[in-house]
Amino acid sequence: MKSKIVILFFLISLKSLGQKQVEVFFDFNKDFPNPTSILSLNEWIAKSKEVEITKLLGFCDSIDTKNYNKLLAERRIESVRELLEKSGLKFSRNLDKIAYGKDFKQSKIQAENRKVTIFYSEIAPKIVESEFTKQIRNSKVGETVKLPNIYFFNNSARIVPKSASSLYDLLCAMQENPKLKIEIQGHICCQMVNDLNNISTARARAIYNYLLRNKIDRKRMKFVGYGVLRPIHKIPEQNQAEEDENRRVEILIVEK
């Protein structure tokens, strides 16, 4: 039977009037959420960093006087507000806090009436476009774009972990531009003869494989290694900066 469902221990998510809401439940005559609701509230907070709290409504059961219950509802609102504030959630400038006490349509199950309802709106995350993404978007067929901050272990095609963000930028560019086709071009430095160990090809293939693992159609891309055939600076390089600029990966725009 529904009357035997103990729902005071759960946080219930609902939708109302274009906003979302959650309900936090309290034990009898308590102004701090019960332990199970605290656990559920923390789980919700962990998943809800991009929200704005717009309204807090406090309620009590029908026991005790109207004035006492209104004050208890106000304390319940304040305890929930403090929990949300300490968790770093944002509040609307016009935050509504309304204590109804027991002046509302009560459930026959008293435990359902001891609550605070949190109304919130989701905040659209700010999308910061990377410089590489801008270059891809503004590039024309036949142009090359350097893939920035791509590093490999010495004499190897293994990509170092700090290059992850640049790889992700390339992946996003491929996902956001489904007509984009590219050629991944690998280059090395510091050798007077061409790429003896074919490292430039292996490094270009490593980036190709990364995109392939992330569901980019192989028909949209190919890879090639140019060794030292296309240096930016004449070989032998004069300093570390020139070596770094020669040791690079570029993206040729084949089709958009």
Q: With a cut of 60, say whether residue 33 has pLDDT above it.
A: yes
Which pLDDT score, from 0 to 100, does residue 3 have? 39
Per-residue pLDDT of 74-131, as tens digits, reads 999 999 999 999 999 999 999 999 999 999 999 999 999 999 999 999 887 776 778 8
Q: With a cut of 60, say whether residue 12 has pLDDT above it.
A: no
The confidence band for 195, taking pLDDT boundaries of 50, 70 and 90, is low
Which pLDDT score, from 0 to 100, does residue 18 have? 53
* List of residues 6+ apart from 72 with CB closer than 8 A: 29, 31, 58, 60, 64, 101
Query: Bigger pLDDT: 131 or 69?
Result: 69
Which pLDDT score, from 0 to 100, does residue 95 have? 95
Amino acid 63 reads I
Per-residue pLDDT of 123-177, as tens digits, reads 877 767 788 888 998 999 999 999 998 888 777 888 888 889 899 999 999 999 9
Axis-axis angle for helices 131-138, 164-176 (nearest 10):
30
pTM listed for this prediction: 0.52
Whether residue 62 contacts residue 113, with contact meaning beta carbons closer than 8 Å, is answered with yes
Inter-residue long-range contacts of 211-217, CB under 8 Å, 24+ positions, other chains counted: 211/170, 211/171, 211/174, 214/171, 216/171, 216/174, 216/175
Closest CA to 50 of 117, 124, 118, 119: 124
Which pLDDT score, from 0 to 100, does residue 191 have? 80
Q: Mean pLDDT of all residues in the chain?
A: 88
Which pLDDT score, from 0 to 100, does residue 252 have? 97
